Chain A
Amino acid sequence: MTYIFNNSLQNYTHNVDTSFTSSEVSTTVELYEGTGVTYTPSSGASYVVFECNLQTSWNPDNSKSYPCTRLQYSTDSTNFVDGTWTTIAGTQMKEGSESTSADYMWFNFMWVFVISAWSGERKLRLAGRSYSTTSEFTLGRNYKASGSNGDGACPFVSIYSVMP
C-alpha cells in the first residue's frame, strides 16, 4: 500500500448552515447568512482561497435582480454582524440581470477568491445589498414543485491555505 502526501493545501474549514432560512435583501449592506467564517491561515501560507456557492431568486422584483456583493473581514466582530468590516479589494461585483419584461430569474453563484494570506485570526463574511429598490432579491430561496417555499438553500463555504 502506498500513501501519497500532498500538503500544499492546508487548514480546510467549511460552512454548512443547516438552520439556514432564506431572506430578502434590500438596499442596506448586510451579512449573507451562512457565509461567516473565523479563520487563521497556516503559518507561511502564500494565499487563502475562499469559495462559496450560493443561490438567489428574483423575488420580490420579477424583472430585475442585482445583488451587489463583497468579501469582507473583521478583527473585532463577535457575531459576523457587529464590529468594523473592511471590504477586500478586488472582490466587489454587481451581478444579476434585468429584462424588458418579467423574467423571474434565479441565479446560482460559485465565487472563488484567491487572496493574500495574513497573520492571526480574522472573521470573513460575504455581505451585500441590492443595487436599487427595484432590483431586490432573496437569498437561499427554495421553491418546490408543489408551489410552496421549501427549506432554505444554504450557502456552502470552503476556505483553505495555499502553501508556497
Chain B
Amino acid sequence: MTYKNKKLFKLFQTVDDPSAQTIDENYVEINGSKCLIDSPSSTPTLIYKFQFYTKDGSTKQSLLNIKLQKSNDNFSSNIVDVPNCIMNISGDEATAGDQYDHTVSTFFIVENFDSDYLRLVCRSYSSSFESVLHRSSEYDGSAATTIYYNPSLIVLEV
C-alpha cells in the first residue's frame, strides 16, 4: 500500500474594495480574475471558479459576453481564447428599464492546460446593454449608499 502526499495547485484570491468597472463594447479584463498557474504538472486539469457582481449601467439593461483566456506572457502579446469557455449573463431584456443586478458565478473546467495565465474578459452586447461591475450606489433603501462586492477566484487542480 502506498501513501502519497501529492501537491496539487490551488489558488484562492480576492480583491478588497475594488473600483467600479464600466463595461462597454470593448473586451476588458475583469478585475481579480487573472492568475498565474504554478502547477508542478505540465498539463494540469483545472477547475476555475470566479465570482463577481454586475449591475445594469446607464441604459438600465445589461447583457454581458464573458470568455476565459489564457496566455504564456501575462497577456502581453500572447492572448488565446480558451475554446468553448464562454457565457452570457442577462436578465429580462425586453425593454429599457428591465433592470438586472446580480452576482455571477462562473465555473469552467480546463483540461490539459498548456499555458501560464488565465483570466476572464467581458464586454457588453451593445451600447444599449452596458454594465457596471463590483459596486453599486443602491442598498437598503438608499440610492446614495456605496457598497462593493469583492470578486473572488478559486482555482483548483484536480
Binding site for B on A (CB under 8 A): 1-6, 8-9, 27, 29, 46-47, 49, 66, 68, 89-100, 103, 105, 107, 109-115, 129, 131-132, 162
Contact = CB atoms under 8 A, between A and B. Distances in A.
Contacts of A115: 14
Kindly name the residue among A4, A90, A91, A114 whose own CB sees the greatest number of chain B CB atoms within 10 A: A90
A32 to B, nearest CB: 15
Contact of A4 (B6, B51, B149): B6
A129 B141 CA distance: 9
B98 A5 contact: no
B98 A99 contact: yes
Nearest to A88: B150
A42 B18 CA distance: 28
Interface stretch (B40-48, B74-82, B132-140): B132-140
Nearest to B140: A68
B10 to A, nearest CB: 5
Interface stretch (B63-71, B99-107, B119-127): B99-107
B136 A89 contact: no
Contacts of A4: 4-6
B108 interface: no
A6 B12 contact: no
Interface string B1-26: 11111101010111011000000000
Interface of B: 1-6, 8, 10, 12-14, 16-17, 49, 51, 53, 55, 91-92, 94-95, 97-103, 105, 136, 138-141, 147-150, 152-154
A97 B100 contact: yes
Given A95-B101, A97-B101, A162-B12, A3 B2 contact: yes
Given A6-B6, A98-B99, A112 B51 contact: yes
Given A68-B140, A112-B154, A114-B152, A92 B147 contact: yes
Contacts of B95: 100
A2 B154 contact: no
B40 to A, nearest CB: 13
A92 B14 CA distance: 14
A90 B148 contact: yes
Contacts of B140: 29, 68, 129, 131
A55 to B, nearest CB: 14
Contact of A93 (B6, B98, B105, B149): B149
A91 B99 CA distance: 21
A112 B139 contact: no
Contacts of B53: 93
A17 B2 CA distance: 39
A88 B129 CA distance: 31
B98 A90 contact: no
30 contacts: A5-B4, A5-B6, A8-B10, A9-B10, A46-B12, A49-B154, A89-B17, A90-B14, A90-B16, A90-B17, A90-B149, A92-B148, A93-B101, A94-B138, A97-B98, A98-B97, A99-B92, A99-B97, A100-B95, A109-B103, A110-B51, A110-B105, A111-B103, A112-B49, A112-B51, A114-B152, A114-B153, A115-B14, A129-B141, A131-B140
